[in-house]
A = this chain, B = another copy of it.
Amino acid sequence: MKASVFVGVSLDGFIARENGDLDFLMPGQEEDNGFDAFLAGVDAVVMGRKTFETVLTFDSWPYGGRPVLVLSGTLSSIRGPPGSACELMNLPAAEVFARLEQRGLTHVYVDGGRTVQGFLSAGLIHDLTITRVPVVIGRGVPLFGVVPRDIRLAHVRTRSFPSGFVQSEYRVVS
Protein backbone atom coordinates (compact mmCIF):
# COMPACT_ATOMS: atom_id res chain seq x y z
CA MET A 1 0.00 0.00 0.00
CA LYS A 2 1.16 3.51 -0.84
CA ALA A 3 0.37 6.66 1.14
CA SER A 4 0.47 10.02 -0.63
CA VAL A 5 0.16 13.65 0.37
CA PHE A 6 -1.41 16.22 -1.94
CA VAL A 7 -1.53 19.63 -0.33
CA GLY A 8 -1.51 23.37 -0.88
CA VAL A 9 0.71 25.55 1.28
CA SER A 10 1.53 29.22 1.62
CA LEU A 11 5.04 30.28 0.65
CA ASP A 12 5.91 30.06 4.34
CA GLY A 13 4.66 26.49 4.61
CA PHE A 14 1.20 26.71 6.18
CA ILE A 15 -1.66 24.47 5.05
CA ALA A 16 -4.30 26.59 6.82
CA ARG A 17 -4.60 29.68 8.95
CA GLU A 18 -4.68 29.20 12.72
CA ASN A 19 -8.49 29.11 12.60
CA GLY A 20 -8.49 26.51 9.80
CA ASP A 21 -9.30 29.03 7.08
CA LEU A 22 -8.08 28.10 3.58
CA ASP A 23 -8.92 31.42 1.90
CA PHE A 24 -5.35 31.98 0.69
CA LEU A 25 -5.58 28.88 -1.51
CA MET A 26 -8.50 30.29 -3.48
CA PRO A 27 -6.71 32.26 -6.24
CA GLY A 28 -5.72 29.01 -7.94
CA GLN A 29 -9.03 27.26 -7.45
CA GLU A 30 -10.13 27.41 -11.07
CA GLU A 31 -6.93 25.82 -12.34
CA ASP A 32 -6.64 22.08 -12.84
CA ASN A 33 -3.86 21.33 -10.39
CA GLY A 34 -4.24 17.60 -10.85
CA PHE A 35 -6.21 16.98 -7.66
CA ASP A 36 -9.14 15.27 -9.38
CA ALA A 37 -6.81 12.90 -11.22
CA PHE A 38 -4.92 12.22 -8.01
CA LEU A 39 -8.10 11.53 -6.06
CA ALA A 40 -9.36 9.19 -8.80
CA GLY A 41 -6.42 6.89 -8.05
CA VAL A 42 -6.99 6.87 -4.30
CA ASP A 43 -8.81 4.12 -2.33
CA ALA A 44 -9.18 5.85 1.01
CA VAL A 45 -8.45 9.09 2.84
CA VAL A 46 -6.88 9.58 6.26
CA MET A 47 -7.09 12.91 8.07
CA GLY A 48 -7.25 14.46 11.52
CA ARG A 49 -10.30 15.87 13.20
CA LYS A 50 -9.54 19.49 12.37
CA THR A 51 -9.13 18.81 8.67
CA PHE A 52 -12.34 16.77 8.75
CA GLU A 53 -14.19 19.68 10.33
CA THR A 54 -12.81 22.04 7.69
CA VAL A 55 -13.82 19.73 4.85
CA LEU A 56 -17.34 19.53 6.30
CA THR A 57 -17.68 23.28 5.64
CA PHE A 58 -16.97 22.84 1.89
CA ASP A 59 -19.84 23.18 -0.57
CA SER A 60 -19.52 19.52 -1.49
CA TRP A 61 -17.89 16.42 -0.03
CA PRO A 62 -14.84 15.72 -2.20
CA TYR A 63 -14.28 12.05 -1.43
CA GLY A 64 -17.46 10.36 -2.68
CA GLY A 65 -18.06 7.00 -1.05
CA ARG A 66 -14.40 6.25 -0.36
CA PRO A 67 -13.56 5.29 3.21
CA VAL A 68 -12.44 8.40 5.11
CA LEU A 69 -10.58 7.59 8.31
CA VAL A 70 -10.71 10.43 10.80
CA LEU A 71 -8.01 10.22 13.46
CA SER A 72 -8.99 11.64 16.81
CA GLY A 73 -8.14 10.98 20.41
CA THR A 74 -11.06 13.03 21.71
CA LEU A 75 -14.14 12.34 19.57
CA SER A 76 -16.33 9.39 20.50
CA SER A 77 -18.26 9.30 17.24
CA ILE A 78 -18.38 11.14 13.92
CA ARG A 79 -20.92 11.58 11.22
CA GLY A 80 -20.05 12.48 7.63
CA PRO A 81 -22.48 13.82 5.04
CA PRO A 82 -24.96 11.49 3.30
CA GLY A 83 -23.23 9.05 0.95
CA SER A 84 -19.87 9.37 2.69
CA ALA A 85 -18.12 6.53 4.48
CA CYS A 86 -16.45 8.12 7.49
CA GLU A 87 -14.90 6.13 10.31
CA LEU A 88 -13.31 7.26 13.52
CA MET A 89 -9.92 5.82 14.45
CA ASN A 90 -7.80 6.50 17.48
CA LEU A 91 -4.54 4.75 16.67
CA PRO A 92 -0.94 5.69 15.88
CA ALA A 93 0.01 6.16 12.21
CA ALA A 94 1.68 2.75 11.87
CA GLU A 95 -1.42 0.98 13.18
CA VAL A 96 -3.72 2.94 10.90
CA PHE A 97 -1.49 2.08 7.95
CA ALA A 98 -1.41 -1.63 8.86
CA ARG A 99 -5.21 -1.82 9.21
CA LEU A 100 -5.79 -0.15 5.86
CA GLU A 101 -3.30 -2.48 4.23
CA GLN A 102 -5.09 -5.47 5.76
CA ARG A 103 -8.27 -4.30 4.08
CA GLY A 104 -6.55 -4.66 0.71
CA LEU A 105 -6.35 -0.93 0.01
CA THR A 106 -3.58 0.12 -2.35
CA HIS A 107 -3.39 3.90 -2.31
CA VAL A 108 -4.23 6.14 0.63
CA TYR A 109 -4.38 9.92 0.65
CA VAL A 110 -3.08 11.41 3.90
CA ASP A 111 -4.18 14.95 4.72
CA GLY A 112 -3.90 17.48 7.53
CA GLY A 113 -0.91 18.87 9.44
CA ARG A 114 -0.52 16.53 12.39
CA THR A 115 -1.64 13.49 10.42
CA VAL A 116 0.87 14.11 7.63
CA GLN A 117 3.58 14.75 10.22
CA GLY A 118 2.77 11.51 12.05
CA PHE A 119 2.86 9.42 8.89
CA LEU A 120 5.99 11.14 7.61
CA SER A 121 7.89 10.70 10.85
CA ALA A 122 6.88 7.04 10.90
CA GLY A 123 8.33 6.57 7.41
CA LEU A 124 4.93 5.76 5.91
CA ILE A 125 4.63 8.45 3.23
CA HIS A 126 5.61 7.42 -0.30
CA ASP A 127 5.25 10.76 -2.09
CA LEU A 128 4.17 14.36 -1.59
CA THR A 129 2.70 16.79 -4.11
CA ILE A 130 3.04 20.27 -2.66
CA THR A 131 1.39 23.23 -4.39
CA ARG A 132 2.93 26.46 -3.16
CA VAL A 133 0.82 29.60 -3.16
CA PRO A 134 2.65 32.92 -3.65
CA VAL A 135 1.63 34.50 -0.36
CA VAL A 136 3.30 34.77 3.04
CA ILE A 137 0.71 34.50 5.83
CA GLY A 138 3.00 34.49 8.86
CA ARG A 139 1.07 32.13 11.12
CA GLY A 140 -0.99 29.00 10.65
CA VAL A 141 -1.01 25.23 10.68
CA PRO A 142 2.40 24.07 9.42
CA LEU A 143 2.68 21.24 6.89
CA PHE A 144 5.88 19.96 8.48
CA GLY A 145 6.87 19.60 12.10
CA VAL A 146 9.78 18.26 14.09
CA VAL A 147 11.12 15.02 12.61
CA PRO A 148 13.16 12.30 14.34
CA ARG A 149 15.90 12.70 11.67
CA ASP A 150 16.38 14.34 8.28
CA ILE A 151 13.94 13.05 5.68
CA ARG A 152 15.48 13.07 2.22
CA LEU A 153 13.29 13.26 -0.87
CA ALA A 154 13.76 12.91 -4.60
CA HIS A 155 12.31 15.62 -6.79
CA VAL A 156 10.02 14.10 -9.42
CA ARG A 157 8.68 17.15 -11.24
CA THR A 158 7.65 20.76 -10.84
CA ARG A 159 5.18 22.83 -12.80
CA SER A 160 3.80 26.31 -12.35
CA PHE A 161 0.37 27.76 -13.09
CA PRO A 162 -0.86 31.16 -14.34
CA SER A 163 -2.01 31.96 -10.77
CA GLY A 164 1.63 31.74 -9.65
CA PHE A 165 1.04 28.46 -7.85
CA VAL A 166 4.08 26.18 -8.11
CA GLN A 167 3.53 22.46 -7.71
CA SER A 168 6.36 20.07 -6.90
CA GLU A 169 6.12 16.34 -6.57
CA TYR A 170 8.60 14.50 -4.34
CA ARG A 171 9.19 10.86 -3.51
CA VAL A 172 10.44 10.06 -0.03
CA VAL A 173 13.90 8.46 -0.25
CA SER A 174 14.82 7.83 3.38
Chain A residues packing against B (C-beta within 8 Å)? 11-13, 24, 120, 130, 132, 134-139, 142-148, 150-155, 157-158, 160, 164-166, 168, 170
Copies of the polypeptide in the assembly: 2
CA separation between A45 and B110, bound complex, in Å? 42
Inter-chain contact A135/B164, CB cutoff 8 Å: no
Residues of B within 8 A of A168 (CB): 132, 160, 166
Residues of B within 8 A of A130 (CB): 11
CA separation between A155 and B131, bound complex, in Å? 13
Inter-chain contact A150/B137, CB cutoff 8 Å: yes
Chosen A-B contacts, 25 in total, with CB atoms closer than 8 Å, are A11-B144, A11-B170, A12-B13, A12-B142, A12-B143, A24-B150, A134-B152, A134-B154, A134-B155, A134-B170, A135-B150, A135-B151, A135-B153, A136-B144, A138-B145, A138-B146, A138-B147, A138-B148, A138-B150, A155-B160, A155-B165, A158-B158, A158-B166, A160-B168, A166-B168
